[in-house]
Amino acid sequence: MQKQLHKTLMKISSGEFKDDIELFSTVIKQLISDRKLKVTGGRVWQLSTENKAYQIYYQVGEYKKIEKDFSIDLDEDVIQKISNERTITSLEVNKELIAKGIFEFSASGFSKRVKINGKNYYKYILALNTTDFSNEFKYILNVVSTLLTSRLIEWEIKERKKDLLADINQAKKLQRSILPEHEYNFNDYEIYGVTSSAKELSGDFFDYLKIGEGEERLGIVVGDVASKGLVAAAEAMYISGAIRMSSHFQIKISPFMSRLNNLINQIFSDDRFITMFYGELSDDEKGLFLYSNAGHNPPIFIDKKMKVHELNVNGPLLGPVPHSKFGTDSIYIKSGDLLVIYSDGIVEAANEKFHFYGKRRLVNLLKMKKTESPKMIALSILDDVIKFSSNDSQYQDDKTIVVIKRK
């Protein structure tokens, strides 16, 4: 189900849509097409501030169509629950909707909130006909709503965009000042990190964090804020600062990730989320590397025998769902082993034919360059991706690489 979710997210985030109806249609039909999700239809309700009710805006699926003048008042229990919880699953109780063939549904609010009579209501509600009431499905619906919110707000920003060149240049200087040096040495580990932004500013970030009174551990973080540009860069800087502050308290990885997730959920708006990989090197002679992954691309690990492994342990994205749990796992990095952490802008870079660079090409390049220094490996990846990519492709994203080798 995670793979299908990523396909849906890519379609929402990378697709070009002429209007919101085409966006909503694409999302719902994509969810219906995956039989595992058990979605048979869906609709989008739009808030009417004048009528203080939700009215049908778009609908598709295996049920009788709802009349355009049908509405659901704001004081209905289901609307109040969505306003408070955002995403719910429920049996249908409205007799008119039951008569249309709608018996169970899952629903989630999205877009900006509007205050009516002192209470905040989502501008839109996405409702899906489904018999899947699992927490996993609620998580998927949460993430889809978050990304829909992101797209709608991006459109709004584009419409009122003004000349921010001076502010952007200042922000670029600030962002460069907080990024770490590219090269870093920790005990017998060589590390090299680099970020290349798709626009003037980057929503990707990486950092090296000294941990412990004797600095016996080194935290390595690679993150990717949803979207690109000024807002994403500002949020990346905020998160990077929060992570640096947290590193002084020597919190274990799982609670650290949970606290960071709750912070993002509380501070950022509903349309924002972050993928992040966090790992810790130590002075352990066996090369212990502990890590946790919040929806980020699985790093690639190539051992001395050229066997390729992926660090597949996956937790949820940071931000959409409060109180999420994050697991940890570990590997041992021995002399001659190679670990590469990267953002999706590497493997999802596209050429003129809209073919993706892909993981297979990345792995093949790593095998060829494995004996070289982390700096040469990182720059070789970046150079190969740039040569592969189309300059005018809409699919270009920020690119971040951190390469770790043990001497």
Contact 267, 261 (CB under 8 A): no
Q: Are residues 81 and 180 in the same domain?
A: no
The pLDDT assigned to 169 comes to 58
Q: How far apart are CA 352 and CA 156, in angstroms?
A: 28
Give pLDDT, residue 282.
94
Predicted pLDDT of residue 192: 96
Say how far apart CA 230 and CA 168 lie, in whole Å: 7
Q: Is the pLDDT of residue 180 over 70?
A: no
Q: Which pLDDT value is given to residue 181?
A: 74
Lowest mean pLDDT, pick from 144-153, 164-173, 304-313: 164-173
Q: Do the domain assignments include residue 38?
A: yes
Cα angle 2, 289, 306; round to 5: 80
Region 363-392: mean pLDDT is 92
Domain boundary pick from 126, 159, 192: 159
Q: Is the pLDDT of residue 372 over 70?
A: yes
pLDDT of residue 398: 86
pLDDT at 162 over 80: no
Average pLDDT of 51-60? Answer: 96
Same domain, 121 and 268: no
Amino acid sitting at position 241: G
What are the structure tokens assigned to 301, written together?
């690990």
As a whole number, mean pLDDT of residues 224-228 equals 78
Phi, psi values for residue 267, rounded to 5°: -85, -40
CATH number assigned to the domain comprising residue 32:
3.30.450.40
Which CATH number fits the domain that encloses residue 253?
3.60.40.10
Q: Which residues contact 325 (CB under 8 A, 6 or more apart)?
A: 254, 258, 315
Of 302, 385, 379, the C-alpha closest to 340 is 302
- Residues 309 and 335 both lie in one domain: yes
Residue where a domain terminates, one of 98, 129, 159:
159
Most confident of 14-28, 168-182, 256-270, 363-377: 363-377
pLDDT in tens, 292-315: 999 999 999 999 999 999 998 778
Range of the domain at 389: 169-406
Rounded to an integer, what distance in angstroms lies between the CA atom of residue 336 and that of residue 301? 11
Q: Where is pLDDT greater, at 10 or 371?
A: 371
Going by pLDDT thresholds of 50, 70 and 90, the confidence category of residue 229 is low
Q: Is the same domain home to 217 and 77?
A: no
Q: Are residues 153 and 239 in the same domain?
A: no
Give residue 160's pLDDT.
66
Residues 155 and 188 in one domain: no
User: Of residues 14 and 42, which shows the higher confidence score?
Assistant: 42
**Order of strands across the sheet that contains 300-302:** 183-186, 189-196, 399-406, 338-342, 300-302, 308-310
Number of domains in the chain: 2
Among 177, 243, 172, 164, smallest CA distance to 209 is for 243
pLDDT recorded at residue 376: 96
Rounded mean pLDDT, 382-390:
90
Residues 121 and 259 in one domain: no
Most confident of 78-82, 169-173, 193-197, 201-205: 78-82
Residue 39, Cβ neighbours under 10 Å: how many?
25
pLDDT for 157 equals 77
Closest by Cα among 64, 2, 353, 400 to 204: 400
Banded pLDDT at 228 (limits 50, 70, 90):
low
* 130 shares its domain with 179: no
In this prediction, residue 42 has a pLDDT band, given cuts at 50, 70 and 90, of very high
Kindly report which listed range (7-21, 65-79, 125-139, 374-388) carries the lowest average pLDDT score. Answer: 7-21
Inter-residue contact 26 to 11 (CB < 8 Å): yes
Residue 69 φ/ψ, nearest 5 degrees = -90, 0
Distance of CA 58 to the CA centre of its chain: 26
> Do 246 and 360 share a domain, yes or no?
yes
Mean pLDDT of the chain: 87
pLDDT at 258 over 80: yes
Tell me how far apart the alpha carbons of residues 112 and 131 are, in angstroms, rounded to a whole number. Answer: 28
Per cent of the chain over pLDDT 70 is 88
The answer to whether residues 105 and 222 belong to one domain is no
Task: Tell me which of 124, 139, 159 is where a domain ends.
Answer: 159
Q: What is the mean pLDDT of residues 172-181?
A: 58
Name the more confident of 154 and 169.
154
Residues 230 and 112 in one domain: no
For residue 335, tell me if it sits in a domain: yes
- Residues above pLDDT 90, as percent of the chain: 62
Of residues 325 and 230, the one with the higher pLDDT is 325
- Quick one: average pLDDT of 181-192? 92
Average pLDDT rounded to a whole number, residues 65-93? 94
